[in-house]
Amino acid sequence: MPNPMAERTRLATAGAHAAVVGNLGKQPRGDVWRGNLFLALLLLAVVLALIGLIALIVQSALKGAPAFSMDLFTEGPSIVNPETAGFRPAIIGSLYLIAGVVLLIVPLGVGAAVYLEEYADGDRWWNRLIELNIQNLAAVPSIIYGILGLAFFVRGPLSLGFVVAAGSLTLALLVLPTVILAAREAIRAVPPSIRDGSLALGATQWQTIRRQVLPASIPGIVTGVILAVSRALGEAAPLLLVGAATFVTADQPNPFEGGYSAMPVQIYNYALQAQDEFKALAAAGVVVMLVVLLALNSFAIWLRNRYEQQW
């Protein structure tokens, strides 16, 4: 009994040895060369992307330098006097818009994501249709949402007029698919064993979602919301259609009454003026927006790292 076994073991060891020796030799020259070329291309892609971003920031900062002052934040718009022109109503308008967007997308986005992940039966054709449409909607150009907002919120069924609420609704529709997709990812990342553990204790499905699944997916959901808000903050095209004006002097717009302005629209308007001082003002506005966006994104990353759960 032991002898044939030992012989077999010896043969197996010898075979494994031969295979390892055969595979550990030098790679062919061509493979090394191709590998290095591929690595170089990857690095090039990273460098180009970084250069683009840095060039944008540096150029805006240099061009906007003469216009940097507190006036940016305290003065209203003007097309005659660049010395006293600023972004005050536009900044306030953008904050109002974003507040409205957040109020709309958090409950709607999380609600839709919870339904699709926890309740919907993925085998039913209507649920698959909903999923497919949400993914497609995330790729629809923003100007189309502007037209939709004009037809449904400004005029048509809601007839709100050119007010902040209409702008918020339009932007919320624009970024809602992004939020739903991000929230679904976050909910799906919670292991099924957590749901099983909760249900096995006699918790209802809603208690399980409310007390286990949602708290565990908050970092992912918040990250998605912040990315969506960043996008909404920078959109000019749909806002032009739903009435963001450039000459609003009132400080606090009523969301359902009166004109409003927004940062990207105001920047766009200043950039169109002939005088160089206004162009500098537009560049300064770009820097302000970039700073806000980078701050939001940093916050999202910090939040994700801070609360991320290792399963």
Partner 1 sequence: MLDKVADRAGKAAGGASGRAKAPGIDVSGVREAGQADRRGSMSKSDRGTIFELRDLTVKYGGTPAVKDVSMEIAAGEITALIGPSGCGKSTLIRCFNRMNDLIPSARVEGSCLYHGQDLYGPEVDPVEVRKRIGMVFQKPNPFPKSIKDNIAFGPKVLGLDDIEGRVERALHGAALWDEVKDRLDENAYSMSGGQQQRLCIARCIAVDPEVILMDEPCSALDPISTGKIEDLMMELKENYSIVIVTHNMQQAARVSDRTAFLIVELDAEERDRWGQLIEYDVTDKIFTNPADSRTEDYVTGKVG
Chain residues in the site for partner 1 (CB under 8 A): 121, 123, 191, 193-204, 207, 211-212, 216, 309-311
User: Given the complex with partner 1, which of 157 and 202 has the nearer CB atom?
Assistant: 202
Cβ count near 169 (within 10 Å): 23
As measured in angstroms, the least distance from the Cβ of 200 to partner 1 is 4
Cα separation, 309 vs 311, whole angstroms:
6
User: Given the complex with partner 1, which of 137 and 203 has the nearer CB atom?
Assistant: 203
Residue 268's nearest CA partner among 301, 307, 238 is: 238
* Ordered DSSP codes for 222-242: HHHHHHHHHHHHH--HHHHHT
User: Given the complex with partner 1, which of 118 and 277 has the nearer CB atom?
Assistant: 118
**Vertex 91 angle, CA 88 and 94, to 5°:** 145
Single-letter amino acid, residue 89: P
Q: How far is CA 236 from the centre of its chain?
A: 16
Cα separation, 235 vs 230, whole angstroms:
9
User: Given the complex with partner 1, which of 133 and 309 has the nearer CB atom?
Assistant: 309
Q: Is 258 left (phi over 0), alpha (psi -120 to 50) or beta?
A: left
As measured in angstroms, the least distance from the Cβ of 201 to partner 1 is 4
User: Given the complex with partner 1, which of 126 and 311 has the nearer CB atom?
Assistant: 311
As measured in angstroms, the least distance from the Cβ of 310 to partner 1 is 7
Cα separation, 96 vs 260, whole angstroms:
9
Angle between helix 263-272 and 214-234 (nearest 10)? 20
User: Given the complex with partner 1, which of 183 and 286 has the nearer CB atom?
Assistant: 183
User: Given the complex with partner 1, which of 151 and 218 has the nearer CB atom?
Assistant: 218
272 in Cβ contact with 243 (< 8 Å): no
As measured in angstroms, the least distance from the Cβ of 7 to partner 1 is 19
Cα separation, 2 vs 8, whole angstroms:
10
Cα separation, 233 vs 74, whole angstroms:
20
**Tokens 């900062």 belong to residue:** 61
SS3 assignment, position 87: coil
265 in Cβ contact with 239 (< 8 Å): yes
As measured in angstroms, the least distance from the Cβ of 216 to partner 1 is 6
User: Given the complex with partner 1, which of 136 and 207 has the nearer CB atom?
Assistant: 207
Q: How far is CA 268 from the centre of its chain?
A: 22
User: Given the complex with partner 1, which of 23 and 311 has the nearer CB atom?
Assistant: 311
